[in-house]
Structure 1
Amino acid sequence: MTTPLLTILFALGLTGGFFSGLLGIGGGIIMVPLLLYIPSLSGVAVLSMKTAAGITMVQSLAGAFSSLVAHRKNKFVHPSLVMNMGTASIIGALVGSLFSKNIDSNTMLGIFACMALMATLIMFLPKGSDDDEVDLEEVKFNKFLAFFVALPVGLLGGIIGQGGSFILIPLMLYLIKIPTRIALGSSSGIAFLSALAGFIGKYSTGQIPVMMAFVLVSGSVLGAQFGGYISKKLKTTRLRLILNIIIAGTALRIWYQLNATVFYLLLMTGLILGFVIFLKTRKTKNEKNTLET
Structure 2
Amino acid sequence: MQIYLPIAEVSVNAFLLLGLGGFVGILSGMFGVGGGFLMTPLLFFIGIPPAVAVATEANQIVASSFSGVLAHLRRKSVDLKMGCVLLVGGLVGAGLGVLLFNYLKSLGQVDLLVRLCYVVFLGVVGALMFVESLNAIRRSKRPATGPVRRTRDRGWVSKLPFKTRFRVSGLYISVIPPIMVGLVVGVLAAIMGVGGGFIMVPAMIYLLGMPTKVVVGTSLFQIIFVTAFTTLLHATTNFTVDVVLAVLLLVGGVIGAQIGTQIGARMKAEQLRILLAGMVLLVCGKLALDLLIQPAELYSIAAPGGH
TM-score normalised over the length of structure 2: 0.66
Trace 1:1-293 onto structure 2 (pairs within 5 A): 2-3=2-3, 5-37=13-45, 39=46, 46-103=47-104, 104-120=110-126, 123=129, 137=168, 139-140=170-171, 142=173, 143-205=175-237, 206-224=239-257, 241=274, 244-259=277-292
- TM-superposition CA deviations, 1:42-87 (whole Å, max 9, x none): xxxx222222212211122222222223343444433233222223
Query: Compared with structure 1, are the counterparts of its residues 238 and 189 closer, same or farther at alpha carbon in structure 2 (3 Å cutoff)?
Result: farther
Q: How many residues align?
A: 248
What are structure 2's unaligned runs of at least 5 residues? 4-11, 105-109, 137-147, 151-166, 294-307
Task: Check conservation: 1:82, 1:190, Cα contact below 8 A.
Answer: yes
Identical-residue share of aligned pairs (%): 26
Higher strand share: 2
- C-alpha deviation, 1:243, in angstroms: 5.2
- C-alpha deviation, 1:214, in angstroms: 1.9
Give me the whole-angstrom Cα distance separating, in 2, the residues matched to 1:207 and 1:84. Answer: 29
Bigger radius of gyration:
2
- C-alpha deviation, 1:247, in angstroms: 4.0
TM-score normalised over the length of structure 1: 0.69
Give me the whole-angstrom Cα distance separating, in 2, the residues matched to 1:174 and 1:244. Answer: 20
Query: Compared with structure 1, are the counterparts of its residues 69 and 248 closer, same or farther at alpha carbon in structure 2 (3 Å cutoff)?
Result: farther
Higher helix share: 1
SS for the counterpart of 2:78 is coil
Task: Check conservation: 1:172, 1:183, Cα contact below 8 A.
Answer: yes
- C-alpha deviation, 1:253, in angstroms: 3.6
What are structure 1's unaligned runs of at least 5 residues? 40-45, 131-135, 261-293
Give me the whole-angstrom Cα distance separating, in 1, the residues matched to 2:271 and 2:277. Answer: 10
Give me the whole-angstrom Cα distance separating, in 1, the residues matched to 2:83 and 2:267. Answer: 23
Q: Which has the higher contact order (CA 8 A, sep 6+)?
A: 2
Alignment root-mean-square deviation, CA: 3.5
